[in-house]
Amino acid sequence: MDSPAVSPTPLQKTNETSVETKGEGRERFSSRLAFYFSAVGSAVGFGNVWRFPSLVFEYGGGAFFIPYLLALFLVGIPLLVLEISLGQHFQLGDVGCFGKIHERLRGVGLASIACGYMLVTYYSMLLAWTFNAFFASFRADNFWDQDEVSGTEAKEYFYQTIIGMDTLGDDLKPTRLVGMNVFYSLLTWVVIYFSVAYGLEATGKVTYVTMGFPLVILFVFLGRSLTLEGSGNGINEYIGESNWGIFSDHPEIWSRAVSQIFFSLGTTFGIMTAYGSHCKRNEPAFLNSCVVALSNSMFSFISGFAVFATLGHLAYLEGLDSVADLEYSSFGLVFGSWPVALGTLPGGQHWIRLFFIMLFMLGIDSAFSFMEAFLTVLHDTKLFHNVDRKRASLVLTACAFLLSTLYATDAGLIFLDSVDYYINFVIIFVGFVKCVAAGWVYKIETQIECLGPKIVFVYITTTFGSVLLACAMWFGVGN
């Protein structure tokens, strides 16, 4: 059932440094479909085809779905409803929305934007590595020219050659900048710049391609993966077998599941607030949130089938009894599996190149959505309201490119994994503070008046219920 349309009644008057919030003259999505493609395109990215299967692989197979689904329905969707609703109501980005709740809460919005900006600096390097791998496939010494390539060889190729870790010492300290990755990082940021510099209408058109094309290719790859020998064993370990001891052996599975939802849905980064602010106030916020969240999780679920079917095939080729015996993790999980399987097709090199194109398209709309969130916040302030969008985009992308060079070193993946690990906890904290800011400071009576009782009480139940349930399971499993 759709939620009541968000009321245009102002929630609270404060002394603002932001521009008027009625929304006149604000850029709009051309249609609800354009919003869906932009929002789902932002949510669906590397996290769906790399991070989600990697977490399932690491945390007990099907057992991971319990914390993941609980996080989706009890934390992810309610928080997504909150962000899109606030954006629609106030017609502002994250900083302006929380400033409207209380002027001292602007820091909540700033924290989310800062997290997103920090994340996109290393997220862009994933795209740069994909660029590097794509163009390397056209060189005379093309790695994929070999008759047979094992998963281990493919993984080592990406680590040692593409990322440049061959010069890394035992102390894991960076020794050089990998020139090709610096160049492809620059190329990535040029693409991001042109994706956001010309306004929301151009961005919406880009997402029709960057979201639609990978979806078609995913089903093609899925069909191919399911025909490989050993794929059934991989699928069985994906959804048919579960390591229930993972809950007591690795209790961090709960935080990883929640952070995966936050990462994948794009919540706590100000993205969905920004996109919501470009919708009309009478749009069905609850319906839109559910469509975005469920589409994102369905893409992850289908990607998992393709990845685990491929892993089953690789285990079969290497004579291993289980997918768990494969020494894959993180970035190497996808880059050491799919290219190998696609290489068995007639014209395998072209399929591998198509795979790299799919990965880049999946990631690029997620990358420029982080910048869109930042640009929306800047545009909402009186100081930067009249600054030309192209100039603001240029400054933001140039600074982000310079920051991203840290990950273009031969220790780039080490830095990436370290920052990615700790930012998990930061975004969970930001999400919690957002809930407190909207639910506690803003007063429940005002919420019910403006949003309606159904959506408010559902949100309260799922938010606080998830905390109680997580605590009960945390201590209960241990006993």
Q: What confidence category does residue 251 fall into, taking pLDDT thresholds of 50, 70 and 90?
A: confident
Average pLDDT over residues 9-29: 54
Q: Say yes or no to pLDDT of 67 above 60.
A: yes
**67-76, 422-431, 458-467: which has the minimum mean pLDDT?**
458-467
pLDDT in the model for residue 454:
85
Using CB atoms within 10 Å of the CB of residue 258, give its burial: 0 to 12 exposed, 13 to 18 middle, 19+ buried: buried
CA atoms lying within 13 Å on the CB side of residue 112: 35
Q: What confidence category does residue 91 fall into, taking pLDDT thresholds of 50, 70 and 90?
A: very high
242 forms beta bridges with 61
What is the spatial distance between Cα 279 and Cα 294, in angstroms, rounded to a whole number? 20
Of the two residues 305 and 322, the one the predictor is more confident about is 305
- Apex CA 182: angle with CA 180 and CA 186, to 5°? 115
Sign of the dihedral through C-alpha 359, 300, 291, 451 = negative
What is the spatial distance between Cα 170 and Cα 320, in angstroms, rounded to a whole number? 29
Which residues 6+ apart lie within 8 Å of 70 measured at CB? 257, 466, 469, 470
Report which of 303, 268, 253, 245 is spatially closest to residue 69, judged by C-alpha positions.
253
Is the distance from CB of 368 to CB of 195 less than 8 angstroms?
A: yes
Give how far the C-alpha of residue 18 lies from the chain's centroid of Cα atoms, to the nearest Å: 28
Using CB atoms within 10 Å of the CB of residue 321, give its burial: 0 to 12 exposed, 13 to 18 middle, 19+ buried: exposed
Instruction: Enter the tokens of residue 468.
Output: 């109680």
Is the distance from CB of 86 to CB of 273 less than 8 angstroms?
A: yes
Report which of 29, 427, 142 is spatially closest to residue 262, judged by C-alpha positions.
427
What is the spatial distance between Cα 268 and Cα 270, in angstroms, rounded to a whole number? 6
What is the spatial distance between Cα 37 and Cα 20, in angstroms, rounded to a whole number? 28
What is the spatial distance between Cα 210 and Cα 357, in angstroms, rounded to a whole number? 10
Q: Nearest 10 degrees: CA dihedral of 160, 166, 168, 174?
A: -70
The pLDDT tens digits for 370-395 are 999 999 999 998 888 889 999 999 99
Using CB atoms within 10 Å of the CB of residue 347, give its burial: 0 to 12 exposed, 13 to 18 middle, 19+ buried: exposed
What is the spatial distance between Cα 162 and Cα 416, in angstroms, rounded to a whole number? 15
Instruction: Enter the tokens of residue 194.
Output: 């042109």
Report which of 121, 37, 59 is spatially closest to residue 299, judged by C-alpha positions.
37
What is the spatial distance between Cα 300 and Cα 264, in angstroms, rounded to a whole number? 9
What is the spatial distance between Cα 358 and Cα 338, in angstroms, rounded to a whole number? 12
Alpha-helical segments (H) within 151-252? 151-156, 179-196, 200-226, 231-235, 246-249
What is the spatial distance between Cα 93 and Cα 95, in angstroms, rounded to a whole number? 6
The pLDDT tens digits for 272-286 are 999 999 999 889 999
pTM exceeds 0.75 = yes
Q: Say yes or no to pLDDT of 8 above 70.
A: no
> Which DSSP string corresponds to 133-150?
HHHHTTSTT-GGGSS---
The pLDDT tens digits for 207-223 are 999 998 999 988 988 88
Which residues 6+ apart lie within 8 Å of 221 measured at CB? 306, 338, 342, 355, 358
φ/ψ of residue 282, rounded to 5: -95, 15
Q: Say yes or no to pLDDT of 18 above 60.
A: no
pLDDT in the model for residue 176:
93
